[in-house]
């Protein structure tokens, strides 16, 4: 009886801690949504008070000034294009590195793993200089660089998962006459759906929220993504907080919706590839 009571107390404490942590993390999002309905005067008066009325005009003005449909199209083009390439080419590279037992493959995998530790800011200036010399300061150049930065993380996740796949399946396919290409696409790739969804979600969240690299490469009218457009509300001499908060909510809605539908695959994919069988 005492053991049962102690377990119930531990669960209650754990639940309380989770609720407190969730409240801490969600409080900034709550403030953002709350102030998106206020007038500029109400925001300057207090960011914590409730709005006198639900001011939907903020969203209408932000939608127009963002050129929302064009901006979301630019964001979708970059996000979907890079994510599709990452989920197609990275499992190929991870499969070869996982199945090849040579020094070269081990060195390449270590190189991919170590490259995750290098922040973008450390290579930003020389990278932009190279992009300018190759005339790649455009959307294609941006997508190429994003793919390069996402590949190490994606390959690392796929590699851990592929080690759990029994080689007997691939050997049986080889006996039946399947070459490496057919073995990968018919046997290996269908087994990578869980980790593939995880990689896709992480890539989408990283690309959708990216501001620094697009601001340096494609910050031109007609090519700007949603994060770049929302920055227009925060100038050096004036800040339209009422429109800016509404614009940020509009920019966050698509990726939050995507994550809400796919969040279960993150834990599933990572845990399935975490332990080698």
CA distances from 127 to 50, 52, 83, 207 (A): 46, 49, 21, 18
Sign of the torsion angle spanned by Cα atoms 186, 188, 192, 196: negative
pLDDT at 12: 83
Report the topology of domain 67-272: MetI-like fold (1.10.3720)
pLDDT at 256: 84
pLDDT at 276: 45
Render pLDDT for 193-230 as a digit per residue (tens, 0 to 9).
888 888 988 899 889 988 888 988 887 888 889 988 88
Render pLDDT for 22-79 as a digit per residue (tens, 0 to 9).
999 889 989 999 999 998 888 888 888 888 888 789 999 999 988 899 999 999 999 9
Per cent of the chain over pLDDT 70 is 92
Mean pLDDT of 107-135: 88
* Inter-residue contact 277 to 160 (CB < 8 Å): no
pLDDT at 73: 92
Residue that wins the pLDDT comparison between 195 and 2: 195
CA distances from 114 to 99, 107, 152, 161 (A): 20, 10, 8, 19
* Inter-residue contact 155 to 94 (CB < 8 Å): yes
Indicate the pLDDT class of residue 277, thresholds 50, 70 and 90.
very low
Mean pLDDT of 161-170: 87
Q: Give the position of tokens 């796949």.
A: 165
pLDDT at 261: 79
Mean pLDDT of 186-191: 89
């Amino acid at each position: 009886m005492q053991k049962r009571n102690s377990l119930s107390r531990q669960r209650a404490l754990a639940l309380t801690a989770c609720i407190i942590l969730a409240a801490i993390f969600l409080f900034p999002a709550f403030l953002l949504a709350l102030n998106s309905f206020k007038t500029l005067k109400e925001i300057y008066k207090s960011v914590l008070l409730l709005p006198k009325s639900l001011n939907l005009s903020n969203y209408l003005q932000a939608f127009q000034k963002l050129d929302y449909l064009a901006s979301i199209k630019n964001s979708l083009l970059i996000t979907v294009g890079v994510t599709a390439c990452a989920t197609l080419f990275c499992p190929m590279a991870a499969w070869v590195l996982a199945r090849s037992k040579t020094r070269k493959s081990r060195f390449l995998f270590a190189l991919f793993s170590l490259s995750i530790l290098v922040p973008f800011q450390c290579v930003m200036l020389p990278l932009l200089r190279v992009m300018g010399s190759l005339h790649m300061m455009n959307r294609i150049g941006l997508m190429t660089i994003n793919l390069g930065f996402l590949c190490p993380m994606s390959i690392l996740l796929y590699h851990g998962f592929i080690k759990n796949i029994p080689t007997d399946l691939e050997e049986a396919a080889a006996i039946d006459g399947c070459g490496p290409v057919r073995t990968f696409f018919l046997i290996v790739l269908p087994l990578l759906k869980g980790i593939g969804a995880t990689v896709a979600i992480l890539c989408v969240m990283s690309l959708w929220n990216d501001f620094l690299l697009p601001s340096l490469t494609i910050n031109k009218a007609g090519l700007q993504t949603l994060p770049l457009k929302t920055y227009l509300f925060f100038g050096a001499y004036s800040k339209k907080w009422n429109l800016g908060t509404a614009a940020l909510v509009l920019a966050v809605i698509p990726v939050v919706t995507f994550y809400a539908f796919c969040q279960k695959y993150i834990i599933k994919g990572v845990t399935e590839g975490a332990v080698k069988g």
